[in-house]
Each structure stands twice: as C-alpha cells, then as structure tokens.
Structure 1
C-alpha cells in the first residue's frame, strides 16, 4: 500500500458522517483488514456504531468463489487429499480475513471442518507492513509524542507478528497444544471444567490447510447478536481467559467472540494461530490494577499502574499523576458498562500514565486487546452490568491460584 492509500484507509475508518465501507477495506488487502479489526476495539476514540461495524471483519469477510475452492485446496495438498473425505461442502460455513472454513466428513464417519488459507498473502502483506512502518516513522518525526501515547509501532509489530503466525496453519496445532498443556497442568487446582479444545488432525494438515473436529454449536458472537448469551457465561469466559492472562501469562492471542464456540455448556477455543505472552511485570501489575479497580481503590490503581511501567515515576511527578487519575475516575464507582466503558477508561488511564512520564513495554498491547474483547462482550450481552462488582468474585480465587499455578 502506498502512503496515500494508508491516508485514505484511515479517513475511511475515522469517517464521522457514515460507517466505514467494508468492501473498500477488504479490497485494500490483508493489512488494511487487520488495521480495521484493531480499530474495532478502540471505543476510546471511535463511536460504538463504528466499532461494531468494523468488528464484522472478524467473521464476515468475502469468501472465495465456489468454483475456486477445491482447486485451491488441491494446490495446497497432494492429489489424494480429498479422496480421504466421504463428503465436502463447497459452501463455506465461515470466512475470515485469512482463512475460509468448510464442513466435511472423513471416510470413517467423523465430522470435521477443513480450513484453508484463501490466497498467498504473505509477500504483499510484508511489503505493506514495511511501507506502513516508513509512513509511521515519518509521522512520528513530526509528532514524536505519538510514539509514547499511542504506540503505533508496537501495534503494527503486534499485527505483523500474529498475522504471520495465522498464515501458517501449523501454528494453530502448535499453539493449541501449548494452551491444552497449561490446562492439563492446572485443571485440578483451578476450575477449568468448561474449557475444551477441538481435535486437530495433524496428519491431514499442513501450512495452508487444517483439518479439525467439527464442533456443532453457535459462536459466542452469534449468541451475543441474538441476545441469547447468559451473563454467567460471559463471566465464565472472563474467568477462563483471565486464568491464562493473569496467572500464566500465555494466552489465546485473538479470543474475539467469533473464536469461541459453545457446545453442551462448554467453551471451545478455536483459531489458535495467534498466541500471546506477557512479562511478569505487566501480568502482575495489571492484575493488581484490576483488583484495586474492582473495589474502587483508585489510589491503589495509581500505584499498580506505576509499578507496571518499565520506567516508573516518583515524587512530585507521581503525586501529580495520582491527582489527575483520581479526577479521571470521579463518578466511575457503581457505573454500568453502558454508562462507562472499561476499555475507554483503561485507554485513558494508560494515556495519562504515558503523558505523566511512564514508559510501558511493547508487549502490552495483546493483553489490553484481550481486555477489550472481554469488555466488548459484556457491553453487547449485558450492558446494565456493574462489571467491577461482578469481577470481585474472581479476585480472591485468582490470588489463591497464583501460589499454585503451573506454567
């Protein structure tokens, strides 16, 4: 993408007169879609309607033409690959930015899905990332504060890392094994009974094709759209994902509502191509921040945010920051998620910390993104919830589990 096209993309995303044109964004290529998906989380400076509209790019992108599907799969595999299936549905059941998914049945009767990469994105994606990096460096030269406040370079680095991981479907197998191993090590000490992983057929899979068990159930995204997801289920998702984030520090890197399937009251993690890891300083600091926030201890929040920073502030500089944070949270106590977005408040808090002199590690964005997903689920499924009060039920459990967790 040339710089003028980046400018047009950002104008499209930030258009205040109408919703962004999703077809235009898709036509601009994979990087444009990934940027738009990232902005779908930024309710701190985009309208809720725009964020909801952009979030459609997670699960509702343009599929490949039916006549091209089998030919593409055969180009990725050997000539006998499709002979191992009794049935293959040429109509996709899902199409995302990178992959497309079709139902199939193995000759032994097992119901499966075949996921494949829609085309060779890698070279153009890497070229576009290099161009965007140069564009961002140019902007930062004239507005250096942007580097600290918004961390655009860190966000682009994250987009590049998890997208390149997604483009090799063997990573889904590798990362599912990592998450499942953590689950097996800790399931006796931490309540993870409702977490499940689909069977992955490694012998039938390669870099471009993945065969996995068909899980017959709705996605969390669909249940949220239909207003059919009970609030306790949303809390349990927070409970499970919170275990990986706050206690282990290794977690599903893209757990948006389309990547969770519910079947028989269990939650299946799918699309594990991206996995994220966070350092102990951020992991512990953010947990302590959330623990203080749950009880509206805003002075404790200020202390925890500072302890989370790679470069902390002290003395008068810290006192000035704390005073501003206390003002920022005036009126927050007892508010519902529809009245005050946790995502927006956290982004404002981090921005305040940076403007006050704190510096945070680059790896912070994935964990913030995960918190945005969880906040978005509550906002969509239970907007009248006082989330901070509901979170208290997990704080003590997480504190106890931190002593036992096996990474």
Structure 2
C-alpha cells in the first residue's frame, strides 16, 4: 500500500477510483510536510512535487500570481519540475486511434516510440507524415480533465480547513485562486486553443523577417492531439553552438527584445512563458515554441501601460497613480495619501535613472507590490505580462547581458511618437475624446436647470465624505446629543415651573400633577446628562 501511495504521488495519474483514497493520499503528504508549523516556500514546492503533476501544474500557474502570493513563494514555485513518467507508447497509439477513428499508422508514416518530452498534461513525440514532412505530435494524457477536476475539488475542501500560505494582514481567497487556475488549466488542456494561438502569432509576425513559430496542421489536430511542424534549431541557451554556427549573441538578444516588446505594445498578444526551452534559433530566425499560455492586452490596457512608463520617466506621480488605478480593480476604499506617498518613493527611485540601467521586470514587479498593498487587484493579463518580462530578461541576461529590455521599450516609444500610424491613431483618440466632451458640454444647460429646480423644491441632496474625519465627526455627534438633551431638559424645567403656578387639576400635594411629572422627567434627564459628563472626564 505504501508503494502504491508513493507511485501515485510521483505520477499524479494513478488513482484508486475513489476520491476518499486520493484524499487520504493528499492528507498523508500534508501530514509529512508538517504544515501545522507553517509552510516555507521550499516546503511548499517540495510538497507540490510529491502531490504529483496535477499540483505541479497548479503550482506553475500560481507562480505567476504575485498579487495573490508573496514574491518569495512565486520565485520558489518557478523551480517546480514535473518528473512525470512517460505514457507507454501503446497508450499513445490508443489515444491517437480514438481521436482519429483509425489506427495511428494510417495517419503517420512513422512515430518515434521514445518521447521528446513528458509533462503533466501531455507528452511529445517526433513523427513523419506520409508525404515525408517531419512533425511533432503533442498527445494529452488520458483523463487529465477528470484527474485535475477531482484534485481541485479536494483542494477546495482542504482550503476551508487550512491556511496554506500565511500573509501578513491579508487572507487569500483560495477558492477564487482555484477558480482562476482551473480556468487557465482548461484552456491549456484544449489543444485547439493552442492551435489558434500559434496561427494568430504566426499571422502577427508574418512580416517580421527574424521571428516565427511552428506551423500547425489543423486538419490533424483535435482538442487532445496537436500536430505541428518539427523545429530542429539551436536552443537559445546553447551559446557555444550558436557562436559556432556564426550567430552574434548581441544581435540575437536585441532582436529577441525588440520582438517581445512588439508582442506587448503593438500586437497585445505575447508569449506568457518565454523561457530558454521555448526559444530556438533556426535559419537566422527566432522561433517561439509552446504557445499554450499567452497573454492578451486590450488596446486600452496597452495605452495605460504606455502612460505608466512615460509617467515614471517624467516623474509624474498623479499620472502614474491614475494609471495603476485604471488598470486594476479597487477591492476596498483607497487611502490616497498613503498611495501617493508610496508612488512618490517609487518614482524618486526610478524616475531619474537612465532607462538603459533599469530592469523592466523589477519596475513592473514593484508597481504590482504597490497595487497589492493598497488592495488594487490586477487582471490576469497584467500578472502574465510581469511574469513574461521577468522570464525574458532572465534569458537576455544569459545570452546578451548588454541588451536592456527597458532601453528597447524606450526606443519603441520614441519610434511610436514619430510614426504616422501612431500619430493618426492618437489623433483619432483625441477626436473621440473631444466629441464626447462636446456632447457632455451641450448637456450642461439642461443639467444646470434641473439642479436649480431641485434646489428650489428642496430636493437637492449633497453627499459629503471627509476622509480621515471619522473621530472628529463622532465627537461632534456626542456634543450635539448633549446639547439636545440640555435643551429638552431646560424646556421641561421652564414648562413645569409655569404649570406649577396654575390651579390645574388633578394635583399632588397642591402641585398640578402634569407639572410634577415634568419636574421628575427634567431631574432624571439632568442626572443622566451629569453622569455622562462625569464619565467623559474620568
């Protein structure tokens, strides 16, 4: 039984058929991890690796969410490795036959029995089409949807009982995190989505002489099988091979940075996991592999990104604050004084620096930290952007340390300002804003007339919020309460005294009963007011 548990934990695929068995397996691993005494980043990574490839995949996605997890945990989770035992070739053949409705040998002239790679969701085999074209086949593991769905369901139950990752002053919404992870994983497990990514990426870079991606064989691809062009190039981290082949590493680094900035600012469609294993050099071109995970930025988000970067260089604190708040979602009421001060410190640190010396990933990461501190939630596309920038800067550090992604970004801004297309686009934007403003201006007389009418009728209401004035307002409320008490008390005393001078009946000891009751209530209120004042001064 122990060996069975160990195998299941390592492979993450074997199941006993019962959720309770898998739950027992997970609890056993958690117990060995000694979670009661806290979870360090290293302990969390090791624990996820023991839990199997499903949890490894979740951990890899979690590593991109620095707005949800502390940076130390994100950095450690980036080191996760699958270590998944490959599927038997017979299983691969069965999956292919089920997808095509015919034997694999009827579709492919040859398939290498030894996989090129094996991961948590799929494994890849080299193959050849009947026309002799070399291809690679990405085959999804059988039942991975069900396996991941069951694991996440169990993790939801565990999230209600355990605080897995501590965070000072904040409680992480694990169910929200799991919802997001499940959504991203579902996209990754649908290979037709990756096929669309490859086709779109190829179309966007069709006119770029130095960048490309593998061709997709759409007629042979399904949700569980992806057939692509076999790229036999030199990995970008094989520096000696690149030099021997006559490549200049500095030129590769510069072209790599230029293309990635183009993906972000021009296309709004960028590779979200650009590590060394996903970039090869072939025939003088940078070939981007594995576009299962991409980031998408709307034209609005790209404009805000440009505004934020320019605000840093101009040391414009207000503009940067507006950009951060426009890009994110406010989760709570903002203390603008504290936010302004944090941004001022940030701008003072980077605003006067030479752009060539700045690391774009570090700058974006600190902006994310400021947003997170003030409960400004960033969309998934922004966290993907930061992860992608940090990763590509790591690649550049190895192959071309002198290349600055921030410097390329600055050059891109300069070129954008001078280009006719950019000027025309900006002019259209300004005209739209002017037209909208003109429409609003035309409404001012009508709105002003409505305000005057409501004021005359006594229907005007003004909602006034004074930030940081809660305590003074509370004191004023107490003072007003005492004043009202005193006025009522004085009125009762005066009224009761006047009644006592009359001959009104009924009477108590020769005093009108109503006057006596008024005196009693007045003395009672005076006692309450006196006690409140005495308590206040103690």
C-alpha separation between the residues in 2 aligned to 1:311 and 1:274?
Answer: 27
1:167 to 2:195 alignment: no
1:273 to 2:289 alignment: no
C-alpha separation between the residues in 1 aligned to 2:276 and 2:265?
Answer: 20
Shift of 1:98: 1.6
1:286 to 2:312 alignment: no
C-alpha separation between the residues in 1 aligned to 2:128 and 2:375?
Answer: 57
> Partner of 2:406 in structure 1?
388
Deviations 1:203-259 (A, max 9, x none): 222222222211111344x44798978244334333323333323333444444333
C-alpha separation between the residues in 2 aligned to 1:207 and 1:330?
Answer: 50
1:329-344 to structure 2, matched below 5 A, reads 332=350, 333=353, 342-344=360-362
> Partner of 1:356 in structure 2?
374
C-alpha separation between the residues in 2 aligned to 1:247 and 1:96?
Answer: 32
One of 45, 56, 63 as aligned partner of 1:33:
56
Compute the TM-score of the two structures, normalised by the length of structure 1. 0.75
- SS of residue paired to 2:87: coil
Shift of 1:334: 5.2
Contact 1:241–1:251 (Cα < 8 Å) also in 2: yes
One of 250, 257, 263 as aligned partner of 2:282:
263
> Partner of 1:196 in structure 2?
212
- SS of residue paired to 2:109: strand
Shift of 1:357: 5.1
Bigger mean CA deviation after superposition, 245-254 or 200-209 = 245-254
> Partner of 2:232 in structure 1?
216
Which one has a bigger Cα radius of gyration?
2
Compute the TM-score of the two structures, normalised by the length of structure 2. 0.59
Where does the alignment leave 5 or more consecutive residues of structure 2 unmatched?
Answer: 1-21, 426-538
Shift of 1:15: 2.1
Where does the alignment leave 5 or more consecutive residues of structure 1 unmatched?
Answer: none
Deviations 1:144-200 (A, max 9, x none): 9646xx77666544432232122222222222233334445xx4xxxx222223222
Two-structure CA RMSD over aligned residues (Å) = 4.2
Quick one: higher RCO (CA 8 Å, sep 6+), 1 or 2? 1
One of 27, 30, 53 as aligned partner of 2:79:
53
Contact 2:156–2:175 (Cα < 8 Å) also in 1: yes
Deviations 1:365-397 (A, max 9, x none): 333332232233234444566543343222223
C-alpha separation between the residues in 2 aligned to 1:384 and 1:223?
Answer: 18
C-alpha separation between the residues in 1 aligned to 2:249 and 2:114?
Answer: 31
Count of residues in correspondence between the two structures: 384
Contact 1:231–1:381 (Cα < 8 Å) also in 2: yes
C-alpha separation between the residues in 2 aligned to 1:379 and 1:136?
Answer: 38
C-alpha separation between the residues in 2 aligned to 1:173 and 1:308?
Answer: 29
Q: 1:119 to 1:45 in 2, by over 3 A?
A: same
One of 250, 255, 259 as aligned partner of 1:240:
259
